[in-house]
Structure 1
Amino acid sequence: MQLVVARIGRAHGIKGEVTVEVRTDEPELRLAPGAVLATEPASTGPLTIETGRVHSGRLILRFEGVSDRTGAEALRNTLLIAEIDPEELPEEEDEYYDHQLMDLDVVTKDGEEVGRITEISHLPSQDLFIVERPDGSEVMIPFVESIVTEIDLEEQRAVIDPPPGLIDDQAEIVSSKDDSSEDADA
C-alpha cells in the first residue's frame, strides 16, 4: 500500500536541497537517509534520500543525484510516496493512517447515520473528514477528540458527538445585543 509522506517545496540553497511539507506523523521513519520513495508524478522518481536535517523548524532533504538548485527546483510540488505494509499500524494507539479511515460509516452517538468518509483533508490546524451523506451532499467533520469520540475499525465506523449546526440546521444563534436596547429602539 502506498502512503503520501511529504510534498517537496522550494529549493533551499544552491547544493540541491529542498524544503518538504511533511505529511506523516513518523518523519524519522519515512523520511530517513537511505529511504527510497516513489513520486507523483512518477516521472520524477523514485528518489533516494541522501541527507536530512531540520533548519528553522522545516525539514530539509537532499536526494541522491540532485546536486544543484536547478535540479532541486525541478522537483517542486512532487509528492513523496512510501510503500507500507497494509497491516502496519501507527505507533500511537489513537493515531490512524488515512487508508484505515476511508469508507468508514459515520454515525452520531445516538446511532443516527450521517454518511461515509470519502476524503480526509489535512489542514495546518486539524484534519477534516469529508463525509458523503446519503442524499449525496457533503459535510465536513473536524477530526478532533471532542467531536470524533470513537473510531471502531472492526465495525468500520466513526462515532461523532457533533455540536449543534455541524451536521444539521439546528445551530444556536447567540446574540451579543442586550435585549433591553432593542426595546429602546422601538
Structure 2
Amino acid sequence: MSSKTTLRVGRLVKAHGLKGAFKLELYTDSPDVRFAPGAVLKLQVPDSSPWFGKTVTVKELRYYNQAPVLFLNEAEDRTAAETLIKAILLVDADVEVLPEEPDAWYDHQLIGLKVMRDGALIGQVIRVDHLPAQDCLAIKTETGEVLLPFIKAFVPTVDVKAGEVVVTPPGGLFEELSEA
C-alpha cells in the first residue's frame, strides 16, 4: 500500500493571448511529464474562487521565447483565463517513487532525514530551500539552524530508505558540534 503526497508543479502567472493560455512558472524539473496533454491538475486557490475544489486538464504545453505557456481544456478564452491567475497547480504523487533522474529527490523525501557527519548524528533536515544559486538543506542542530548547499561535495550520500544523509561540510559550518 503506497501513500500519496501533493506536489506543487507550477503557478499560473498571467493570461497569455486571447485563447485562454497562461504564462507558467514551473516548480518541477519534468514539465513534459507533469504537463502532458490529458494530465489532471488540482488547483490551490482561495475558498472564494469559483475554481475552489476543482481540477483542470492540460490541453498543451508550449514554449514561446523559452517561456512555458500552458493551455487548459477549461479555459477557452482570455476571460476564463483571467479567473485562474495566480492559481498553484498540484499533482498527487506516490511518496515512494523517486524522480526518474539519478541523484534527485522530492523535498518531502528529504525532510526528516537524520544528518550524519563522520559517523555522528549532528541534526535533522527540516526543509529544502530552493535559492537562485542552488538548493540548500536547512538542518536543525543542537545550536540552531544551518543552511548547507545541497551539492554532491557537501552531501555525498542521500539514503532515503535508511532515513539519513551523510554530509561533508566545509570548515566553519558545524565546527562547534565536532568539539562536543
Q: Please say whether Structure 1 and Structure 2 have the same fold, judged by a TM-score greater than 0.5.
A: yes
Deviation for aligned residue 1:93: 2.3
Deviation for aligned residue 1:67: 2.4
Write the distance in 2 (CA, Å) between the matches of 1:61 and 1:29.
13
- Structure 1's 77 and 66: CA in aligned 2 closer, same or farther, altered over 3 A? same
Q: Which residue of 1 aligns with 2:123?
A: 115
Write the distance in 2 (CA, Å) between the matches of 1:149 and 1:126.
16
2:38 to 14, 24, 34: 34
TM-score (norm 1): 0.80
C-alpha contact (below 8 Å) 1:130/1:140 kept by paired residues: yes
1:88 to 91, 97, 109: 97
C-alpha contact (below 8 Å) 1:105/1:157 kept by paired residues: yes
Deviation for aligned residue 1:101: 0.9
Q: Which amino acid aligns with 1:4?
A: R
Q: Which has the higher contact order (CA 8 A, sep 6+)?
A: 2
Q: Which residue of 1 aligns with 2:60?
A: 51
Return the index of the structure with the highest Cα Rg. Answer: 1
Helix, strand or coil for the counterpart of 1:84? strand
Identical residues among aligned pairs (%): 37
TM-score (norm 2): 0.83
Q: Which residue of 1 aligns with 2:174?
A: 167
Deviation for aligned residue 1:102: 1.3
C-alpha contact (below 8 Å) 1:107/1:113 kept by paired residues: yes
Write the distance in 2 (CA, Å) between the matches of 1:100 and 1:145.
17
Structure (1/2) with the larger strand percentage: 2
Deviation for aligned residue 1:9: 1.3
Q: Which amino acid aligns with 2:126?
A: T
Write the distance in 2 (CA, Å) between the matches of 1:166 and 1:7.
35
Q: Which runs of 5+ in 1 are unaligned?
A: 170-186
Helix, strand or coil for the counterpart of 2:33? helix
- Structure 1's 118 and 166: CA in aligned 2 closer, same or farther, altered over 3 A? same
Deviation for aligned residue 1:158: 0.8
